[in-house]
Amino acid sequence: MRWDVQTKLKANSPQLKAGELIKTLLVNRGIKDKKTSREFLEPTDPLTGYQAKLLGLNPAQLKKALARIKKAVKKNEPVVIYGDYDADGICATAIVWEALQKLGAKVIPFIPIREKEGYGLSRDGIDAIKADPQYGIGGKAKGLLVTVDNGIVAHEAVSYARKLGLEVIILDHHEKPARLPKAYAVIHTTKLCSAGIAFFVSRSLLAPNLSPLATLLELAAIATVTDLVPLTGANRSLVKYGLVALNNTSRPGLRALFDIAGVKHIGVYEIGFMIGPRLNASGRIESATTALQLLCSKDQEEARNLAAQLNNTNRDRQTMLAAMSNHALETHNLQLKTADFREKIIIAENESYHQGVIGLIAGRLVEQYYLPAVVISRGEIISKASARSVAGFNIIEAIRSCDNLLVNAGGHPMAAGFTIETEKIAQFRVKIQNWARKRITPKMLIKTLRVDGELDIGLITNELYRQIKALSPFGVGNPEPVFTAKVSVSSVRTVGTDGKHLKLIVSPAGNYPLSAVRSFDAIAFNLGYFAPKIKPGDQISLAYTIAEDDYGGYNRLQLKIKDLHYGGIAEKN
């Protein structure tokens, strides 16, 4: 990878003050004055702070939506929460459902099944609700439909709902189309995930009684991490305070999920790689209602059974993903062997690709080839697609350049999805590849590692690590600090299945007094292939983060290697 070093600071003095390094790290994140530094390090409590305008929400639309929801509660009108089947949509559905229950609303959630009702608000989904007596909106009955994590592009479905006598309120964070649906109210911002929007709307609904908000905050934190929104501003606040709530949760469903995942302490990593995938699994290949029931369950035995079901579904999802990803990778490898193959966007399609994992397959393709990727689950008449991108290339903009060929489309600059008539896939392929060819520059396709600066490993102490941790939670928009250092290698080996990972013992390469020299264990995941190229006594440059290692009951600092170079440290490009 190319190392993009953010600062020329060379932290190689034993007299280094931690405060100087922290200040540099804040500046690297665009935080340059005392006020914003204080807010970053001590974020406002989301239970009381952040007003609508600061969140990007339209105050007039919010006021209108709140009044309509309260009217529905007062008149005992049926209210349906129309959710989505990913972790953000599931958590947002649970938040609004529980908030309205606290108000005494006649409310029931509905999450579409991917293969039956498709993504987002649809005629099929509305018909399913209308036909089911439990929702209470059949015949000529009036009611309120609140969409979460969808609806912003559902022009036809909103019009259909209105004709049936339903009023629609949209809570969504996806990119706005040029024209909004004619809903009763639209609560939209791209600054939050949908569960974040749901949390702040629920806070307004429940005011002044804020006591239920702590349990809703737990769900907003999970969704904020899993939906990969920038962990700055209100999102940072939701996650920082939400992690505290999660580690003390009384929700039987979350407790059961933590137990079955083997999680003892909940952090961003645990949410992103252990909890989130299990919540997502149900909506990918079965019904997301299982995950919703788990989150809202009040019965411990039921919660344990649902957690076990999600865990098994996640295993099935992993098996399915591995087989389909391998097929997509092998297919693209064959295309690369074609002499005239010069495309800058991967289009993979097959009738065997399950709709629930095509986004994950696209992610695997991007990871392997560092090109934008579109993966299509090919149907007989209609096909579903999911796309992932690389930094600098707006994938939803590229997809919308093909609007005349699509049934519908939605998403974000880095991830999107669409529906297309199968017979138009060939035309879509040509059109989007032409679009990509003109707009993707060679620089976009060089994988870049953002590095904060140089920090000699001889200066790493427990106190320095504690101060760096004050910048957490880390994630999109607030990356974990990455440093470079030249080190001397004293031990090299591989660990893990088939020697997949690289394990080193390294010490500072600088001129330190003997008493100052410390050695560190360093782990490089998925870089085991470097082992034959390194031998004890070599000096190499690492790009690394600092982490705590409590394996075997010990508690010590270790280095997590992000990349390594032979020779000097890369300069800022």
Q: Which two tokens stand for residue 103?
A: 């108000």
The helix/strand/coil state of 227 is: coil
Segment (H or E) for 346: strand 346-350
Domain 342-445 CATH class label: alpha beta
pLDDT tens digit sequence for 69-112 = 999 999 999 999 999 999 999 999 999 999 999 999 999 999 99
CA 82 – CA 86 distance, rounded (Å): 13
pLDDT at 59 over 80: yes
Q: By mean pLDDT, which of 66-80, 232-246, 454-468, 474-488 is the weakest?
A: 454-468
The helix/strand/coil state of 419 is: strand
pLDDT tens digit sequence for 175-224 = 898 899 999 999 999 999 999 999 999 999 999 988 999 999 999 999 99
Give me the residue spans of the domains in the chain: 2-39+448-566, 53-210, 342-445
pLDDT tens digit sequence for 110-167 = 999 988 888 899 999 999 999 999 998 876 667 999 999 999 999 999 999 999 999 9
SS (H, E, C) 371-395: CCEEEEECCCCEEEEEEECCCCCCH
The DSSP bridge partners found for residue 135 are none
The set of residues, in sequence order, having a beta carbon less than 8 Å from that of 309 and lying 6+ positions away, is 282, 290
Angle, in degrees to the nearest 10, between helices 194-206 and 87-102: 10
What are the phi and psi torsion angles at 379 (to 5°)?
-105, 170
Domain 53-210 CATH class label: alpha beta
pLDDT at 568 over 50: no
Segment (H or E) for 169: strand 166-172
pLDDT tens digit sequence for 433-446 = 999 999 999 989 98
pTM of the model: 0.90
User: Among 539, 548, 546, 542, which Cα is nearest to 562's?
Assistant: 542
pLDDT tens digit sequence for 3-28 = 999 987 666 665 556 578 888 899 99
CA 564 – CA 3 distance, rounded (Å): 10
Give the right CATH number for 2-39+448-566 from 3.40.50.2300, 1.10.8.60, 3.90.400.10, 2.40.50.140: 2.40.50.140
